[in-house]
């Protein structure tokens, strides 16, 4: 499918805005998307904390 | 027979490219482009839009025409098909249009987008360069822009629509900042972040600014590093549907159609009513123009400094297609609206400052061509213009005459003397004794060097002189 992708870069922010602007259905799409984003954002932080803690314990030893 | 040249403004879409020759305008399609064209050609939308003139008439071209030899190398792969388009009499660009023209072009794109969604198609881009004007009528010319709809994907053209149509229109409507220099300055249009800066403070209260401009700019910054295919995938998973594209397009249409530009007090918009012409002068001038039009029988007339278009209409009545050029946006807007109302089909109004005309722009300065490279006039009308170029724009009189002669066509030229009230007003802005070259005897000498003078007439007020001239040799 991606071989047929548009020659024009639609812009990530512009695509997300279209979901938000789409009214009721759009809000559902946006919530799902943002839900996923928020989720990955949190997991990202957790991973980051763990990595930092690992780094700290290394310098301690 | 000339070989068809690849139109330098059409290379961005890899599935569709335009070739232009004396024989006509052709479009070369890739395999994917051909499948999209077949889907369009079978649609009701195609038949309807070609019939009502909103889409350029297009049919498969005769494949063995000499003019199509250039087609073989026009795309990366061998072409799958070649189409032939009807020709637009004269190409114009969005940075030469008025607010109303850009708005009508934008509405046409949204209407075609909505109609295509109903038939499983979509527009792959949204640049106003896909629209041309035939007279004062907007025509969508990029048949290659229609493609088969891919369910679950947002409209790829939305950002481009904002940058090249919605933002310039909003900035002109809400801030009275001229849209032409903005579009001429950057062919890609105005990015959301910059539009957000131009529409700051109370201007954000206008309908649509907070969402299409401010939120758009924020999301763009926020997701700057997000990969497009990931976002597209997430939207698909979240069941982004064609209904959303349709709802957004409808709302955009409403927003654009409500945008209004009220020009400030323009020096020119009231020109005809406050001008220094007497009725007698005006009617003698029109008569003089009509006689020249009848003698020359032009198919393309350039009316330089067209003002309210009274002389453009005289040329159009005789069957000529006319470019009505004027530097004042408000004046050209008024002309565009009156042409739309009267249904005059042969006058193309354009915003053009002849002392600073459209240059070659884009890749290799060839994507968008200078005015004089897009077609030459058979007749030039240059009325009430010489003094503006010579005095207000400081172009030496000899240069003005040389420029007119280089256009290579018969011309009707008006010369107001130093005693003319308008000339006195222009001279009053300058230092005492400036522009000594602005003088009738000198002008006639210059004219006779470069042209054959066919006819001359002094108007009743005795400060305005008319000349009908033809190229020498």
Residue A53 has a pLDDT of: 52
Distance CA B324, CA B368 (A): 20
Predicted local distance difference test score (pLDDT) of residue B279: 81
- Does B390 fall in a domain? yes
Which tokens belong to B340? 């739309």
Question: Which residues does chain B have within 8 Å of residue A16's beta carbon, measured at their own beta carbons?
Answer: 219, 223, 231, 235
* Residue B98 covered by a domain: yes
Which of B262, B290, B309 represents a domain boundary (last residue)?
A: B262
Same domain, B310 and B450: yes
Is the same domain home to B246 and B340? Answer: no
Nearest to B156 among A6, A22, A23 (CB): A6
**B81 & B104 share domain:** no
**Looking at the structure, do residues B113 and B256 belong to the same domain, yes or no?**
yes
Provide Rg for chain B, Cα atoms: 25
Predicted confidence at residue B29, as pLDDT, reads 92
B168 in a domain, yes or no? yes
Q: Domain tally for chain B?
A: 3
Whether B194 and B237 share a structural domain:
yes
CA–CA gap between residue B220 and residue B226 (Å, rounded): 10
**Confidence category of residue B419, pLDDT binned at 50, 70, 90:** very high
Q: Are A32 and B238 an interchain contact pair (Cβ–Cβ within 8 Å)?
A: yes
Task: In whole angstroms, give the CA distance from residue B186 to residue B192.
Answer: 14
Q: What does the DSSP 8-state code read for residue B80?
A: S
CA distance B453 to A31: 75
Same domain, B229 and B350: no
Q: Does residue B109 sit in the same domain as residue B257? A: yes
Interface check A3 vs B, CB under 8 A = no
> Quick one: closest CA in B to A4, which residue?
B32
What ipTM score was computed for the predicted complex, to two decimals? 0.84
- Rounded CA gap, A26 and A48, in Å? 32
The string of pLDDT tens digits covering residues B19-59 is 888 888 999 999 999 999 999 999 999 999 999 999 999 99
Domain end call among B87, B116, B134? B87
* Segment holding B457, helix H or strand E: strand B451-458
Which of A8, A13, A21 is nearest residue B156 as measured by Cβ atoms? Answer: A8
Name chain B contacts of A20, Cβ cutoff 8 Å. Answer: 211, 215
Cα-based angle B66, B71, B72 (whole degrees, multiple of 5): 105
Give me the residue spans of the domains in chain A: 30-61
- Give me the domain span that covers residue B81: 12-87
Task: Report pLDDT digits (tens) over B242-297.
Answer: 999 999 999 999 999 999 998 876 655 555 555 656 788 889 999 999 999 999 99
Q: Does A24 touch chain B (CB under 8 A)?
A: no
> What are the pLDDT digits (tens) for B66-99?
656 777 777 777 888 899 999 999 999 999 999 9
Asked which of B87, B113, B136 is the last residue of a domain, the reply is B87
Give the CATH number for residue B401: 3.40.50.150
Q: Do residue B255 and residue B319 come from a single domain?
A: no
List of long-range contacts for B383-386, beta carbons under 8 Å, 24+ apart:
B383/B285, B383/B289, B383/B303, B383/B304, B383/B305, B383/B311, B383/B412, B383/B413, B383/B414, B384/B305, B384/B307, B384/B414, B384/B416, B384/B422, B385/B304, B385/B305, B385/B354, B385/B414, B386/B413, B386/B414, B386/B415, B386/B416, B386/B443
**Cβ neighbours around B307 below 10 Å, total:** 23
Same domain as B116, residue B66: no
- B73 and B147 both lie in a single domain: no
């Amino acid at each position: 499918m991606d071989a047929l992708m548009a020659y024009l870069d639609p812009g990530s922010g512009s695509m997300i805005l279209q979901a938000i602007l789409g009214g009721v259905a759009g809000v559902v799409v946006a919530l799902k998307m943002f839900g996923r984003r928020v989720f990955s954002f949190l997991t990202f932080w957790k991973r980051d904390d763990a990595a930092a803690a690992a780094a700290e314990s290394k310098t301690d030893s | 027979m000339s070989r068809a040249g690849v139109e330098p403004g059409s290379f961005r879409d890899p599935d569709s490219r335009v070739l232009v020759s004396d024989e006509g305008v052709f479009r070369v399609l890739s395999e994917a482009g051909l499948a999209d064209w077949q889907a369009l050609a079978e649609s009701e939308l195609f038949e309807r839009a070609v019939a009502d003139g909103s889409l350029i008439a297009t049919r498969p071209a005769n494949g063995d025409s000499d003019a199509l030899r250039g087609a073989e190398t026009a795309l990366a792969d061998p072409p799958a098909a070649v189409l032939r388009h009807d020709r637009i009499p004269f190409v114009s660009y969005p940075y030469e249009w008025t607010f109303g023209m850009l708005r009508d072009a934008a509405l046409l794109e949204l209407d075609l987008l909505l109609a295509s969604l109903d038939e499983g198609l979509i527009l792959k881009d949204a640049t106003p360069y896909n629209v041309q004007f035939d007279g004062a009528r907007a025509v969508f010319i990029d048949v290659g822009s229609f493609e088969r709809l891919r369910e679950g994907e947002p409209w790829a053209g939305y950002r481009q629509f904002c940058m090249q149509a919605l933002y310039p229109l909003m900035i002109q409507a809400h801030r009275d900042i001229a849209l032409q220099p903005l579009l001429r300055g950057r062919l890609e249009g105005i990015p959301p972040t910059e539009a957000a800066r131009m529409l700051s403070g109370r201007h954000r209260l206008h309908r649509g600014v907070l969402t299409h401009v401010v939120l758009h700019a924020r999301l763009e910054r926020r997701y700057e590093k997000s990969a497009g295919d990931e976002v597209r995938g997430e939207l698909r998973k979240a069941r982004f549907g064609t209904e959303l594209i349709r709802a957004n397009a409808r709302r955009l249409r409403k927003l654009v159609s409500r945008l209004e530009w009220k020009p400030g007090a323009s020096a020119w918009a009231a020109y005809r009513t406050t001008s220094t012409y007497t009725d007698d002068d005006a009617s003698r001038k029109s008569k003089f123009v009509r006689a020249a039009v009848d003698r020359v029988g032009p198919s393309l007339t350039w009316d330089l400094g067209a003002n309210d278009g009274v002389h453009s209409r005289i040329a159009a009545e005789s069957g000529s297609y006319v470019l009505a050029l004027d530097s004042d946006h408000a004046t050209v807007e008024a002309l565009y609206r009156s042409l739309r109302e009267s249904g005059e089909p042969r006058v193309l109004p354009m915003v053009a400052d002849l002392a600073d005309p459209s240059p070659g722009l884009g890749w290799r300065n060839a994507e968008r061509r200078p005015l004089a490279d897009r077609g030459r006039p058979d007749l030039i009308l240059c009325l009430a213009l010489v003094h503006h170029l010579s005095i207000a724009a400081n172009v030496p009189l000899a240069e003005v005459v040389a420029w007119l002669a280089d256009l290579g066509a018969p011309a009707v030229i008006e010369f107001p003397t130093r005693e003319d009230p308008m000339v006195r007003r222009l001279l009053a802005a300058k230092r005492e004794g400036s522009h000594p070259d602005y003088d009738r005897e000198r002008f006639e000498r210059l004219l006779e060097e470069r042209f054959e003078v066919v006819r001359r007439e002094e108007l009743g007020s005795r400060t305005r002189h008319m000349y009908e001239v033809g190229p020498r040799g």
